């Protein structure tokens, strides 16, 4: 899958790492030699509110970002899903954390439900890895960035002492999707 331009939105609660996922994704796309426009909001998270980031990945130079519907939406909380679902294109791709999003309204979208919190707590003993698990699933499902570039971007983005566990978590998300769920 190599579309001309893909808009990805990652949303969640503050602290879940939506901004970090956007950063890694943006960096990975640059490694893949794409053009990238990356938007992130700060401030709200510190107040325990919603966090989000958006990454536009394109084969061509991107004009200053227009507001448009996204092709891919990652929702790591119910509130995030409720807030952003209207902005997902018809037949777009929706990834949710199954453990956090209980109620997915009927939509014309390909919905992937990943038990990211459960995987993080069981395998990595910490919820902080939910974001790289979702990133692994996203990479496998959408191919919007290459696996190699995503891993390289993780190494270059996360704190050194968490690289190994983040790469493992990425792998768990990536493999989960292939497991027939």
- Interface with its own copies (CB under 8 A): 26-27, 29-30, 33-44, 46, 49, 52, 54, 61-62, 64-67, 87
What is each CA distance from 117 to 54, 57, 77, 84, 147, in whole angstroms?
22, 27, 11, 20, 22
Q: How far apart are CA 125 and CA 107, in angstroms?
A: 33
Contact 78, 54 (CB under 8 A): no
Q: How far is the CB of 73 from its own copies (least distance, A)?
A: 12
Q: How far apart are CA 111 and CA 7, in angstroms?
A: 17
Considering the complex, state which of residue 1 and residue 67 has its C-beta at the smaller distance from its own copies. 67
Considering the complex, state which of residue 35 and residue 167 has its C-beta at the smaller distance from its own copies. 35
Considering the complex, state which of residue 48 and residue 178 has its C-beta at the smaller distance from its own copies. 48
Q: How far is the CB of 87 from its own copies (least distance, A)?
A: 8
Strands 50-58 and 5-13, how do they pair? antiparallel
Considering the complex, state which of residue 35 and residue 147 has its C-beta at the smaller distance from its own copies. 35
Structure-token match 């938007």, residue found: 39
Instruction: Quote the tokens at residue 87.
Output: 């902005």
DSSP bridge pairs for 114: 97
Q: How far is the CB of 35 from its own copies (least distance, A)?
A: 4
DSSP bridge pairs for 51: 12
Q: How far is the CB of 153 from its own copies (least distance, A)?
A: 12
Residues 6+ apart with CB under 8 A from 41: 19, 51, 52, 53
Considering the complex, state which of residue 113 and residue 157 has its C-beta at the smaller distance from its own copies. 157
Q: How far is the CB of 74 from its own copies (least distance, A)?
A: 15
């Amino acid at each position: 899958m190599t579309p001309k331009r893909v808009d990805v939105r990652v949303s969640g609660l503050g602290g879940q790492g939506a901004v970090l996922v956007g950063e890694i994704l943006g960096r990975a796309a640059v490694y893949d030699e794409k053009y990238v426009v990356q938007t992130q909001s700060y401030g709200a998270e510190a107040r325990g509110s919603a966090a989000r980031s958006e990454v536009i990945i394109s084969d061509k130079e991107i004009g200053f970002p227009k507001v448009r519907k996204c092709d891919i939406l990652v929702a790591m909380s119910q509130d995030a899903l409720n807030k952003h679902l209207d902005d997902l294109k018809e037949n777009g791709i929706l990834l949710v954390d199954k453990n956090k999003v209980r109620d997915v309204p009927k939509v014309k979208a390909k919905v992937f439900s990943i038990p990211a919190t459960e995987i993080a707590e069981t395998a990595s003993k910490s919820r902080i890895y939910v974001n790289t698990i979702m990133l692994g699933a996203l990479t496998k499902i959408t191919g919007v960035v290459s696996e190699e570039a995503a891993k390289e971007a993780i190494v270059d983005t996360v704190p050194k002492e968490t690289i190994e566990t983040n790469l493992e978590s990425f792998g768990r998300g990536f493999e989960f999707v292939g497991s027939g769920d």
